Amino acid sequence: GAGVSQSPSNKVTEKGKDVELRCDPISGHTALYWYRQRLGQGLEFLIYFQGNSAPDKSGLPSDRFSAERTGESVSTLTIQRTQQEDSAVYLCASSLRVRGAEQFFGPGTRLTVL
Amino acid sequence: KNEVEQSPQNLTAQEGEFITINCSYSVGISALHWLQQHPGGGIVSLFMLSSGKKKHGRLIATINIQEKHSSLHITASHPRDSAVYICAVQRAGGTSYGKLTFGQGTILTVHP
């Protein structure tokens, strides 16, 4: 596609439910990143994937968060047993490579946990 | 202290003014990124720098690696430049060299 796409654009869920967020990166981009932006706050790194290497999960806030990526394509971010503090915009970005490459951001998924 | 500090946090300007946003960082980096986030939330990459200066239209970005400092300049500002401008760095080494570490952003409002 022309850019990074994410789905759904909005997700409202009840506390305790599991949610799955999807990211389709730009074709040919080997690196894929997940970030989070809570209301009124800055961006936080969650996880990144680089080709077939083990992902860097150092930003995941708890073991309720996990992510997978199929080869160099789609990625899903899963949040289990959602809590109200998980409410945020979840942004995906991709780049040609990790070092020295511009990151292209998707439109984000706005998650609201009631 | 945050690894990436931006100033000012808020900036108001009149159309046509020259604008400067500053970014200081405290770690060794491989690259510094300037991003723009519009009120609708979408994020656009403006520049990626590892040295020197880059220009794109009315936007200019500079970086001084020795001083660990970067500036984003907007010449002849326009109301459509109103947005949040975010500085982000990628570390030079270590195990998490791919991730971006973000500044808190500068909210720019340009009045007609």
Q: DSSP secondary structure string, A60-96? A: --STTEEEEE-TTS-EEEEE-S--GGG-EEEEEEEES
Around B112, how many Cα atoms within 13 Å sit in the side-chain half-sphere?
A: 1
**By the CB < 8 Å criterion, does A60 face chain B?**
no
Q: Is the pLDDT of residue B93 over 90?
A: no
AA identity, residue B75: T
For all residues of chain B together, what is the average pLDDT?
93
pLDDT tens per residue across span B70-82: 999 999 999 999 9
Six-digit token pair at B22? 């500053």
Q: How far is A16 from chain B (nearest CA, A)?
A: 27
Residue of B97 and B105 predicted with greater confidence = B105
Q: Is the pLDDT of residue B96 over 90?
A: no
Q: How confident is the model at residue B95 (pLDDT cuts 50, 70, 90)?
A: low
| Cβ within 8 Å, pair B95-A43 | no
| Cβ within 8 Å, pair A43-B50 | no
Q: Is the pLDDT of residue B48 over 70?
A: yes
AA identity, residue B61: A
pLDDT tens per residue across span A41-67: 889 999 999 988 889 999 999 999 999
End-to-end CA distance of chain B: 36
Measured between beta carbons, which residues in chain B are less than 8 angstroms from residue A89?
41
What pLDDT was estimated at residue A38? 93
- Going residue by residue through chain A (114 aa), what tens digit of pLDDT does each one get? 579 999 999 999 999 999 999 999 999 999 999 999 999 888 999 999 998 888 999 999 999 999 999 888 899 999 999 999 999 999 999 999 877 788 999 999 999 999
Residues ≥6 apart with Cβ < 8 Å to A15: A82, A83, A84, A113, A114
CA A48, CA A63: separation in Å to the nearest integer?
16
